[in-house]
Amino acid sequence: MESLRENGFEGALTVVDADPELPYDRPPLSKEFLTGVFDEDDFRLWSADRITELRVELRLSTRAVGLDTARRRVAVRSAADGADELAYDRLVLATGVAPRRPAAFVGLDGVHTLRSLADARALRDALRTKPGPVVVVGGGFIGGEVATSAAEQGLDVTIVEGGGNLLPSVLTPGLSRPLERLHEASGVRVICGRTVAALHGQGSVESVELADGTRLPGGIVVLGLGGAPETGWLDRSGLQLSDGVHTDEGLRTRAEGVYAIGDIARRRDSATGALVRLQHWTSAHRQAAHVARDLLGTTVPYRDVPFIWTDQHGTRLQIAGVTYGDEVRFVDGGPDTEAYLALVRRGPDLAGVIALGRMREFQKMRRLLSDPPRWQSVVAGTPDLDTLGAQA
Amino acid sequence: MTIVVHGRDQTRREVDVNTRDSLMLQLRPLKVGVIGVCGGNAVCGTCHVTVRPDQWDLLEPIDEYEEEMLETLPDRQPNSRLACQIVYTPALDGLELTVATRI
C-alpha cells in the first residue's frame, strides 16, 4: 500500500484482515514483546492516521471466505457486519499461516501457540504471572526464541524437539550443537529426538508426557510446531493449491490479476524449477515490493536471496541462501565452538552462508550470494577443515 | 562519552554511551523513537536517524545492506543512517542524532 501510493497509484485500496488489530510487525512477538523491551505501539506498522492518509479502507476482524475469479469477487465475513462481497481489479493474497495445534493438545488452559498479537499478549501475561515450568514443544525458530524469552525472565524451561537436533528444518546436527549448548548454558534443557504424546492436567495443563513415557512438569506449554498455509477459503477458487498457493516466478497465480505473497505463496523458482514456499519476514517484504511494482506496470525480474535470523540468549544465528546443499563446511569455528561461520555448496557453486555469533563475517560472505561464485574459489585458502558430514 | 539525541517527541537528551553495542541497542530503552524491530539486521528501517551534517565523516561508510534499506525509506535525507549500523567508538563522542519521523 505504501509503495503503491508513493508511486502515484490513485485507485481505491482495500485491506481485509481477520485480525482485529491495526497491522503490526511479527518478529518482536517472540522476543522483545515477551520480555517487555517493546510496547505494542513500538511495532505497529500503521497508525489510524496513516491509514487515513494513505486512503486505505481497512476492514479489520473481517475474514476472506471465498474467491470467485471469474466474477472477480472476494466473499468476506465479519461478526459485526455479516457477509459481504468485494469486487477487485487486482487481488493480492497474503493470508499467511495458522499455527499447527494437534487435536490431542486442544482443550487445556495454559497451552499456547504464537502467531498473533493476541497470542503474544496471552503468553506474555502467562510468563509474568504463572510459576511455570515452561515446556516448549518444537525446537524451531519460535520455540528457541520463546525459550530464550522465558529463561530471561527466570523461568524453568525445557525444549522438546522431535527431530534429532534443534532447527532441524535448516540446520544439520553439527551446526545445531553450539546452539543447543547455548541454551543449556543459559539454563534451558534441550530434549531432542523425542516427541510429545499427551498433555495432562485438570482444566489447566500440569504435565507433558513424552512418547517414551517420561513426564515433564509444565504449567505453561508453548506449541512451536510450525504453521499451515491459510488457504482453506480458496479451496473452490480454481487456484492451484498444495502447501500454499502456486505462483509463477513473478508471484502471479493462474487467475488473471491475482497474486500471492508471503507465507502462503509457493513460488516457482526459476533457477531450480522447484516450487518454494518461504516463511521469512524479509521475503514477505521483498515479495510485497515486487508485486507493488508489477501492479504499477514496472515489472522487474524477482530476485531474492533468502535471509533469516534468530536471536537466542544474546547470540545471533543468521542464514542466507540455502541451508541443505551438497556440502556444508565450517570456515571458522565448528560443532564444538561457541561461534562459527559455515558455507553451503550446491553443485559447483556457493549457495548458502550460516553464522552463529559472527555477524560481520556473515554480512561479507552473504554479499557473494547475489552472484554466486564457484565453491572452489571461496574455500580455496581456507584451512583444510573437516566437512560437516565427517564430524556430524 | 556522551551523544546528543533529538527525539521524535522534540526532546533533546544527552545520553551516556559506554559500550561497543550499536547505537540502536543503546538508544531504544530511551523510548525516543529508535526501535529496531529487526534487531539490528538493517532490514526494517525503524531505527532511522539523521546525523549532524558536519559529523558525517566520523561514521563508517554505509554498506550495501544499509544502503538497500535506506533506499526504501520515503523520508530519507542526505544525512540519514540506521542507528543499528552505527557501532559506538570513542571517536563519536559528542555525536548528535535526530530520530526520523515515523510514517
Q: Residue A382's pLDDT is what? A: 61
Q: Residue A106's pLDDT is what? A: 87
User: Start-end ranges of CATH 3.30.390.30 in chain A?
Assistant: 314-391
Domains identified in chain B, total number: 1
Q: Cα–Cα distance between B82 and B70 in angstroms, integer?
A: 8
Q: Residue A390's pLDDT is what? A: 39
Which CATH number fits the domain that encloses residue B92?
3.10.20.30
Q: Which of residues 200-229 of A touch B (CB under 8 A)?
A: none
Determine contact: B63 vs chain A, CB below 8 A.
Answer: yes
Residues 6+ apart with CB under 8 A from A384: none
Q: What is the extent of the structural domain holding B58?
A: 2-99
ipTM for the assembly: 0.85
Inter-CA distances, A309 with A21, A172, A356, Å: 26, 16, 10
Q: What is the pLDDT of residues B37-67, one digit of tens each?
A: 998 999 999 999 999 999 999 999 999 889 9
Using CB atoms, pick whichever of A42, A282, A367 lies closest to residue B64. A367
Residues of A whose CB is below 8 A from B103: 2, 50
Provide the angle, in degrees to the nearest 10, between the axes of the packed helices A173-185 and A141-152: 20
Q: Read off the C-alpha cell for A22.
A: 491495526
Per the rule left: phi > 0, alpha: psi between -120 and 50, beta: everything else, A183 is alpha
Q: What is the pLDDT of residues A7-61, one digit of tens each?
A: 889 999 999 999 999 999 999 999 999 999 999 999 999 999 999 999 999 999 9
For the A2-20+60-97+228-295 domain, the top CATH level (class) is alpha beta
Residues of A whose CB is below 8 A from B64: 367
Q: Cα–Cα distance between A40 and A108 in angstroms, integer?
A: 27
SS (HEC) of B44-91: CCCCEEEECHHHHHHCCCCCHHHHHHHHCCCCCCCCEEEHHHCECCHH
Fold of A101-225: FAD/NAD(P)-binding domain (3.50.50)
User: A258 pLDDT exceeds 70?
Assistant: yes
**Minimal C-alpha gap between A50 and chain B (Å):** 7
Cβ atoms within 10 Å of A368's Cβ, excluding its own: 18
- Contact between B88 and B19 under an 8 Å Cβ cutoff? The reply is yes
Residues of A whose CB is below 8 A from B38: 27, 281, 309
Q: Read off the C-alpha cell for A233.
A: 477459503
Residue in B66, B87, B65 with CA at minimum distance from that of residue B76:
B66
Q: Read off the C-alpha cell for A249.
A: 516466478
**Minimal C-alpha gap between B33 and chain A (Å):** 8
For the A314-391 domain, the top CATH level (class) is alpha beta
User: Start-end ranges of CATH 3.50.50.60 in chain A?
Assistant: 2-20+60-97+228-295, 101-225
Task: Decide if A307 and B43 are in contact by the 8 Å CB cutoff.
Answer: yes
- Between A313 and B90, the higher pLDDT residue: A313
Residues of B whose CB is below 8 A from A27: 37-39
Q: What is the pLDDT of residues A217-229, one digit of tens each?
A: 999 999 999 999 9
Per the rule left: phi > 0, alpha: psi between -120 and 50, beta: everything else, B94 is left
Task: Decide if A42 and B74 are in contact by the 8 Å CB cutoff.
Answer: no
**Minimal C-alpha gap between B51 and chain A (Å):** 22
For A157, counting Cβ atoms within 10 Å of its Cβ (0-12 exposed, 13-18 middle, 19+ buried), the class is buried
Q: Read off the C-alpha cell for B14.
A: 544527552
Using CB atoms, pick whichever of A2, A42, A318 lies closest to residue B35. A42
